[in-house]
Amino acid sequence: MTGWVTVAGLGPGAEALVTPEVTAALAEATDVVGYIPYVARIAPRAGLSLHPSDNRVELDRAELALRLAGQGRRVVIVSSGDPGVFAMASALFEGLEARPEYHATDIRILPGITAMLAAAARAGAPLGHDFCAINLSDNLKPFSEVERRLRHAARGGFAMAFYNPRSKSRPHQFTRVLEILREECEPARLILFARAVSTPDEALQTVTLAEATPEMADMRTVVIVGNEATRRIGRWLYTPRSVVETVPE
């Protein structure tokens, strides 16, 4: 039996947002590897082994998946959202890079709907023009780098989507993020706080930068900051697709 590794995105939470391609891969799998709450979304069945693990052992998960595939197993590594967005696809290749004996492994990356895009769709179209995504966690990079990228993105006029904005272990960092935004953007800039999108706990709140507080975000929240042209139409939030050219004085 020839083994393989598939890294699959489970989407933002609702089962209806899991793609048919991912569902088919899970149906073929002999093993599912992933962070505990993501593996918990997979229904047990005969012939399927589940391998849940903690949040900060991504390279261990990659190693396990590659080793199982080398034994002829069909392995799906599950991520939330899209596996290529701050998730396990990159971790798998990081692990693969250091292990030449696994370089010939049959690997597939299956896209999923990101929390960022699900949140934007719920609100309207706040990412309708140029945008960027920034992971605000400093687990894998210094917070000084988060600050640098945030400031340049704001100066560049991008709409911005923030992942992992505020946790119990680092509640102060999102306060600093808001301070930087207030230094670089106008007070009326619109911000969407989208929590637990597509789940029963979903909650959306749109405020101005002047009204935003750190407590509006937690680890289940995606924060979308509009650009200077982002506006409201009734309950909808959208960013125009065109940019009016400004003439330097």
Q: How confident is the model at residue 38 (pLDDT cuts 50, 70, 90)?
A: very high
pLDDT at 1 over 60: no
Domain end among 113, 134, 151 = 113
> What's the whole-number mean pLDDT along residues 211-223?
95
CA dist 248 → 51, 70, 230 (Å) = 58, 60, 22
In a shared domain, residues 141 and 191: yes
Asked whether residue 73 is assigned to any structural domain, the reply reads: yes
Q: CA-based angle 146:149:153, to the nearest 5? A: 135
* Whole-number Å distance between alpha carbons of 48 and 62: 18
Specify which residues 50 forms β-bridges with.
32
Q: Cα-atom radius of gyration of the chain, to the nearest Å?
A: 20
Residues 141 and 195 reside in one and the same domain? yes
Distances 119 to 24, 35, 227 between C-alpha atoms, Å: 26, 22, 16
Q: Look at residue 243 and tell me if it is in a domain.
A: no
C-alpha to C-alpha distance for 38 and 135, rounded to whole angstroms = 19
Q: What is the mean pLDDT of the chain?
A: 94
The predicted structure's pLDDT at residue 248: 54
125/58 same-domain check: no
What's the CATH number where 160 sits? 3.30.950.10
Structure tokens, 132: 């960027």
Contact call for residues 136 and 148 (beta carbons, < 8 A): no
Place of tokens 């789940």: 199
The stretch 41-60 carries a mean pLDDT of: 93
Report the DSSP beta bridge partners of residue 52.
34
pLDDT band at 167 (very low <50, low <70, confident <90, very high): confident
Number of structural domains found in the chain: 2
Q: Is residue 69 part of a domain?
A: yes
CA neighbor of 17 nearest in space, from 118, 121, 87, 89: 118
Nearest to 194 by CA among 149, 172, 161, 170: 161
Domain boundary among 79, 113, 147: 113
Domain limits for position 101: 4-113
* Residue 245 is assigned to a structural domain of this protein: no
Q: Average pLDDT in the 179-204 region?
A: 96
What are the b/e assignments for 206-217, b being 16+ CB within 10 Å? beebeebebebb
pLDDT in tens, 120-152: 999 999 999 999 999 999 888 999 999 999 999
Q: Which of 68, 88, 113 is the last residue of a domain?
A: 113
